[in-house]
Structure 1
Amino acid sequence: MHHLASLHVYPIKSARGIDLSEAVVEPWGLAGDRRWMLVDEAGRFLSQRKQPQLATVTVRQEAGGRLAVSTPSMDDLRIEPTAEVRLVPVTVWNDEFEAALGPDDAHTWFAKLLGFDVRLVHLDDPTRRTPDQRYADASDRVSFADGFPLLLTTTGSLESLNAVMDSALPMNRFRPNVVIDEPEGWAEDRWRRVRIGDVIFRVVKPCSRCVITTTDQRTGERGPEPLRALGKHRRFGKKLIFGQNLIPELPPTGSGILRVGDPFEVLETA
């Protein structure tokens, strides 16, 4: 039997991730995952695609929903949801919805880091956004993640990819939520429904990879891999694939718990 090898959340979209030993699964993803996001003056999301220096931003979760944020070049920042909720329109890809404006000092801090005016927003109500309805149900929800509540990768697929590159890359290049210790490379391509611990997930769509995977998640520096290797070995049409998107099968108000070491089971394949 295979197991859950690691768990990860990214409290601020495109900032550095946090490794966890256990996490609550909510209908829209792991608790605390991608509930904060940076947007430009038009309300459009910002990410490492164009701002790779966000990889140097370390985030620590504190009590009461507060975040402690740091980067080597600046003083630390502490963030908490504001008492007065000020909703503003935001856009993630083609999704337009509302989010709560963060505190003013956070806007100033990130603007100094990135060199242009930005705002930090908080998804105070995670029921506002639905995943792509070509792959999801009308009742499904998602946070500020690119498209779906969770991303799954496997150790075997990383080993298979590293085997065709000159230098091995760590799993954090792919920014997963759950990593399974499946030894067979690309086995997840066949999975359609899985159980991790007591929580069942639908495997709804392969994850198409972008330039973020070429970004060192410690320094923000970039290189050609793994996109060059994915282009040779994992190209499906115009998409370069690594990992699978998941939607939890939970009631709208339900939740579950995942713990590193939980048993993993494939319930349905294609």
Structure 2
Amino acid sequence: MDGPFPISDTHAPGGFVALNDPRHTECLLEALKTAIHNAGEHRLFQSGKLPGLFPARTGIAAEAALHALRAGLLETVRTEAKGKLITEWVCATPKAVGYIHDHDSPRSILRELKDVLQATRTGVPSFMAEAKAELAALSANFEERASAMLARLDDLAKRCESALRRAETSGPAVTESVGRVVPWAIDALEYLDRRSESGAGGDCPLPELFHAIGVRFPELSLPAFQDGVKRLHDVRAVRLVPTNAIPEPEYAVVVEGKLMYAVGR
């Protein structure tokens, strides 16, 4: 980018820093979902007909991109300089999965629904008084606002129902005995669920899961991680699967004579 852009940040649930303007959050979520769904590196900004995670180097898109880099949701892989124009190539980090989960997950949808319902309930008395007093002049505007409000509530109700169904059927759980042997089991299962809800395609590579768990368990060694993953596979909490490519073979585990390099639910 050509230079820094001022961003007003506030702390949000889940330990992340949130952008004040919902338009920034929407732009950021769309970019992160694209980066996660299509693994690998991406241009940070669109350039002509060449695709990028953010559509422009100015305005809302630029501020959202700068926030993503500052918060560690995206990391720069390489840069290309052509004259005065610098093209940045980035990829999503494990933090991006958690950000999408906290801002576009069952819990975030339910929080949004609660806020909308509370605001609606609080505003009804004064809104009705104003509507009665100015009914003749504001009838058209009243109908438009009521329709928009109902449409939003209907949309949130549908999303809430879907979120509750997912929440009731996807709760990670392991037995107490397994939890003692693999103390990070719940964290691993929650990360896999969040990754799936965030739109990441395919099974999770073992190196990605190891680094994601390492944020909370920095003392976890690779051999202990591999032994724990095999135990979770044995009790059917996860399923280990082989892949066509194994770029980091030291992370692979052997199950029934086969090299397993990815894990799913």
For normalisation by structure 1, the TM-score amounts to 0.27
Structure with a larger share of its residues in helix: 2
TM-score scaled to structure 2, two decimals?
0.28
Point out the structure with the larger strand share. 1
Structure showing greater radius of gyration is 2
Using CA pairs under 8 Å that are at least 6 residues apart, name the structure with larger relative contact order, 1 or 2.
Answer: 1
